[in-house]
A = this chain, B = another copy of it.
Amino acid sequence: MSVRYRHARPALTVDCVVFGLDQRDLKVLLIERALEPFAGQWALPGGFVRIDETVEQAARRELQEETGLDKVYLEQLYTFGDLDRDPRERVVSVAYYALVRLAANTAQANTDARKAEWFALNRMPSLAFDHDRIFRVAYERLQNKVCYQPIGFELLPKKFTLSQLQQLYEIILGQELDKRNFRKKMLGMNVLVETDEYEQGVAHRAARLYRFHKTKYQELLKRGFHFEV
C-alpha cells in the first residue's frame, strides 16, 4: 500500500481561512493541533489532497471533517509554495477562504472530536506553520473583495436589516460608513429586495428585513461594481 515515483514530489495540502460573523465581531475558525509539529498550537483547518478528489473537494472535505461546516461559500485564495513551510517535508498548500453564517453553524463546529474554536480577529493566537501569513492574505482579499463584489451577504442570515449589512461592511473594512450614503448606494445597486417582515424582539423601532436577489446579483457581477471606501 505505498507508491513509488521517479522524482520526489511535494506533498499537496489545502488550508481554509473560515470567516464568520458573530453579532458584531468578525471571527475566524481555528483548530487546535493534536500532533507534532506545533502540537497544542492553533492552525487553519486543512489537510492532504487525496489522489481521487479535486483540490476544491479536498478543501470542502477537510472543512466538513474538522469543523462540521458544509455548503459554505468557498473561494480559492492563493497557493503557498515556499520550501520551509513545514519542518517535516516539502508541502505546497492551496489556500481557500470560506464565508459562513456563523449563527447557523456554530453549534456543529464544536461537536467534532477535534477542538475547533472561533476567534475574533483581534484576539487570534499566533498560528502554526505559515498560517499567520495565509490568514493575512485572506483578510486582505476579503477587504478588497467586498469593495467590488457583494459577497458580504454570505456572512449574514438570509434576511437581514440594512443596519446589519452596514455593520458588516464597517467591521470588514475597519471604518465607519455614513448611514444614508450606505443605504443609497446599496439600494441603488439593485441586488436587495425588501421583504414585508421586520426584525423581532428589539427594544426600539423594528427594522425592515431585506434579502438579496440572486438573479440581480449575477447581473451585478457581470456589470461589475465598485464600492468606494
- Stretch touching chain B among A2-10, A97-105, A153-161, A195-203: A2-10
A92 CB contacts on chain B under 8 angstroms: 12, 49, 55, 94
The answer on a CB contact under 8 Å between A9 and B9 is yes
Q: How large is the interface on A (under 10, 10 to 19, 20 to 34, 35 or more residues)?
A: 20 to 34
Report if A130 contacts B (CB, 8 A). no
Report if A51 contacts B (CB, 8 A). yes
Report if A56 contacts B (CB, 8 A). yes
The answer on a CB contact under 8 Å between A94 and B82 is no
A11 to B12, CA, bound (A): 9
- Total copies of this chain within the assembly: 2
Report if A136 contacts B (CB, 8 A). no
A2 CB contacts on chain B under 8 angstroms: 4-7
Report if A54 contacts B (CB, 8 A). yes
Report if A90 contacts B (CB, 8 A). yes
The answer on a CB contact under 8 Å between A48 and B7 is yes
Report if A76 contacts B (CB, 8 A). yes
A79 to B79, CA, bound (A): 7
Which of the residues B48, B54, B81, B226 comes within 8 Å of A83, measured between beta carbons?
B54
Which of the residues B9, B76, B90 comes within 8 Å of A11, measured between beta carbons?
B9
